[in-house]
Amino acid sequence: MTETIISLESVNPIEFFGVNNGKLDLLKKKFPLLKILSRGTQIKLSGSPEQVEAAKDKIELLIQYLERNGNVSHNYFEQILGGDDIETVDHFVEKNPNEVLVFGPNGKSVRARTQNQKKMVSMSDKNDIIFAIGPAGTGKTYTAVALAVRALKNKLVKKIILTRPAVEAGESLGFLPGDLKEKIDPYLRPLYDALDDMIPADKLGYYMTTRVIEIAPLAYMRGRTLDNAYIILDEAQNATDLQIKMFLTRIGSNAKAIITGDLTQVDLPKNQKSGLEKATKILKNIDGIAHIELDEEDVVRHRLVKAIIRAYDRDKEQNV
């Protein structure tokens, strides 16, 4: 039996333990064989030497993260506890401030938060086209938008173009009132939400007015040549084969493109096939085109989203 006491004096203990000790409960769940007691600004661990050492390593990692960032979300706390390799450690306790993609309003830092998101960032520096495939909540769109905003702020491109197929997600929206912009905006709302996190409202309004940032349905890309631009095709699973080909052939000089999608959530009519799966296959071995698959380990939404995705995956496997 080994005992050790760890001090939390360098961080806010309330932030570490969480509301109603919610984060502390996660720590206890991660190490069920240990006796873990919280005493003011200290944590006492009792148990086998191996378990105590493992828990101590995680707690010290969490302390380092809090020292650097000041706070840690419930979901992020859980992700740090779940990482077991040195890459995870290096990711969560950032040594390099350049890994912040952009600083949003009020100084909020936006950065890649999982290993696969970090791979997206690395791939974007080496390739002009990236296919990022994965389930909902894995940060595909958010990371892609952050990369585009970073490129614009660093003057690597002159404009950002964000596009989505205007396909209803399983329900009929009926007649939408208003002008054309008001009719299509509901389909594009997630892209606006990501931009709101990264660009002050007045500056974003200016960019939209001057078309430095353009958000439009995929059909509006036809016939254009997009130079000096960062182009994102979101929800690409709802694009047909011809639409994806059309999109990819719009890319002009000094342009980059990211295509994101979730092949488990195709909303096309039954008589139409998604072009995303075919595109990822036939463009697999072309220099300058990279592919990244994100999974439930990359989910950065509510902690239950990860469990929901796993449950659906299990159900799918059982019914194959």
Instruction: Provide DSSP, 47-109.
Output: E-HHHHHHHHHHHHHHHHHHHHHS---HHHHHHHHH--SHHHHHHHS---GGGEEEE-GGG-E
- Higher pLDDT pick, 253 / 183: 253
Q: Among 38-42, 84-88, 224-228, 247-251, which is the least confidently predicted range?
A: 84-88
- Higher pLDDT pick, 89 / 118: 118
Vertex 51 angle, CA 50 and 55, to 5°: 120
Q: Is the pLDDT of residue 45 over 90?
A: yes
Q: Please, which pLDDT band fits residue 172 given cuts at 50, 70 and 90?
A: very low
pLDDT at 315: 80
How far is Cα 256 from Cα 128, in angstroms, rounded to an integer? 5
Amino acid identity for residue 61 in this structure? L
How far is Cα 236 from Cα 229, in angstroms, rounded to an integer? 19
All residues at 6 or more sequence positions from 162 whose CB lies less than 8 Å from its CB, including other chains: 145, 148, 188, 191, 195, 213, 214, 215, 216, 231, 232, 234
Mean pLDDT of 120-142: 91
pLDDT at 173: 44
pLDDT in tens, 96-122: 444 678 877 765 678 888 888 989 999
Q: Give CATH 3.30.1370.10 domain extents, the chain.
A: 2-92
What mean pLDDT value characterizes the chain? 83
Convert 205-239 into a string of H (helix), E (strand) and C (coil). HHHHHCCCEEEEEHHHHCCCCECCEEEEECCHHHC
The CATH code belonging to domain 98-318 is 3.40.50.300
All residues at 6 or more sequence positions from 8 whose CB lies less than 8 Å from its CB, including other chains: 16, 41, 42, 43, 63
Structure-block tokens of residue 194: 């990501």
pLDDT at 303: 67
Structure-block tokens of residue 121: 């960032």
pLDDT at 223: 86
Q: Give CATH 3.40.50.300 domain extents, the chain.
A: 98-318
How far is Cα 220 from Cα 200, in angstroms, rounded to an integer? 27
Q: Is the pLDDT of residue 11 over 50?
A: yes
* 2-92 CATH fold: Ribosomal Protein S8; Chain: A, domain 1 (3.30.1370)
Mean pLDDT of 150-156: 89
pLDDT at 83: 60
pLDDT in tens, 271-318: 888 999 999 999 988 999 999 999 877 776 666 776 787 788 788 777
User: Three-state SS for 45?
Assistant: strand
Q: Please, which pLDDT band fits residue 197 given cuts at 50, 70 and 90?
A: confident
> In terms of Cα–Cα distance, which of 23, 143, 122, 29 is closest to 76?
23
pLDDT at 96: 46
State the pTM of this model. 0.64
